[in-house]
């Protein structure tokens, strides 16, 4: 059974990149373009892991993460952001991993693999 990854990202080209790369790794990739859409999709599509951007319109990633974690505590969440200073926000500590965005997706891929294996 293919694992389902929810990518929450407002940059549509980046979504295309993640979809392309993560599909190649053998995952099913679904995408939400902001926090509120992500909250809705967690309820409807039951992803196995979430890759969450922070800076997004309407609802940011930190707020969305709070709402998702308020309803269930099982899905691992990886924060994937260009900003390093959100590490100081204690809300981000409840994420399972914090990754600074890079064009090199090696770190992201290995984190996904590691967290999914832990959750087996």
Partner 1 sequence: MLPPILKDKVDDILRGIMASLNAGLSVVDKDLNIIWTNENLRRMLHSKHSVVGKKCYEVYGCACKDASHCSSVSGLSNGERNVSDIQFISEKGGRKYIKNISIPVKDEKGAVGYFLKLSLDVTEKEEKISQLSLLRKFADMMQGTLHIDRLLHLILTCVTAGTALGFNRARLFLVDKKRNVVYGKMAVGPSSYEEAVKVWSEIISKYESLEDLISASKDKYQEDTPLHATTRLMVYSLADESEPIVSCVKHKNIIWGKNAFHDPTMSRNFVSMIGADEFVCVPLIAREEAIGVICVDNHYSKKPVTEDQVQMLVTVASRAALAIENAEAYKSLEEKIKQLEDAQERLIRSERLAVIGNMAAYIAHEIRNPLVTIGGFARSISRISNQDPHAKQSAEIIVEEVNRLEKILANITDFGKPLKPVKGVFQVNDLLENTCSLMGPYFKSSNIQLIQKFNESAPPVTMDSTQMKQVFVNLMKNAVESMLDGGTLILETTSDDKYVKINVTDTGKGIPAETIQRVFEPFFTTKVDGTGIGLAVSKKIVDEHGGTILVKSSGYSGTTFSVYLPIKTE
Binding site for partner 1 (CB under 8 A): 11, 13-14, 16-17, 20-21, 24, 55, 82-85, 100-105
- What DSSP letter does each residue of 50-98 carry, written as one string? EEE-SS-SSS-HHHHHHHHHHH-S-S-EEEEES-SGGGGSGGGGGSSEE
Nearest to partner 1 of 11, 63 (CB atom): 11
Nearest to partner 1 of 56, 75 (CB atom): 56
Q: How far apart, in Å, are the Cα atoms of 48 and each of 13, 67, 110?
A: 23, 17, 15
| Nearest distance, CB of residue 73 and partner 1, angstroms | 29
Nearest to partner 1 of 49, 54 (CB atom): 54
| Nearest distance, CB of residue 83 and partner 1, angstroms | 6
Find out whether 17 and 53 touch, Cβ atoms under 8 Å.
no
| Nearest distance, CB of residue 64 and partner 1, angstroms | 18
């Amino acid at each position: 059974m293919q694992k389902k990854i929810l990518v929450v990202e407002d940059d549509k080209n980046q979504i295309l990149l993640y979809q392309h790369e993560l599909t190649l790794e053998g995952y099913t990739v679904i995408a939400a373009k902001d926090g509120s859409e992500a909250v809705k999709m967690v309820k409807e599509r039951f992803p196995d892991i979430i890759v969450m951007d922070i800076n997004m319109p309407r609802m940011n990633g930190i707020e969305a993460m709070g709402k998702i974690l308020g309803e269930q505590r099982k899905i691992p969440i990886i924060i994937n952001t260009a900003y390093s200073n959100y590490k100081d926000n204690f809300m981000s500590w409840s994420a399972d991993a914090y990754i600074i965005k890079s064009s090199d997706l090696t770190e992201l891929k290995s984190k996904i693999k590691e967290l999914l294996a832990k959750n087996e």
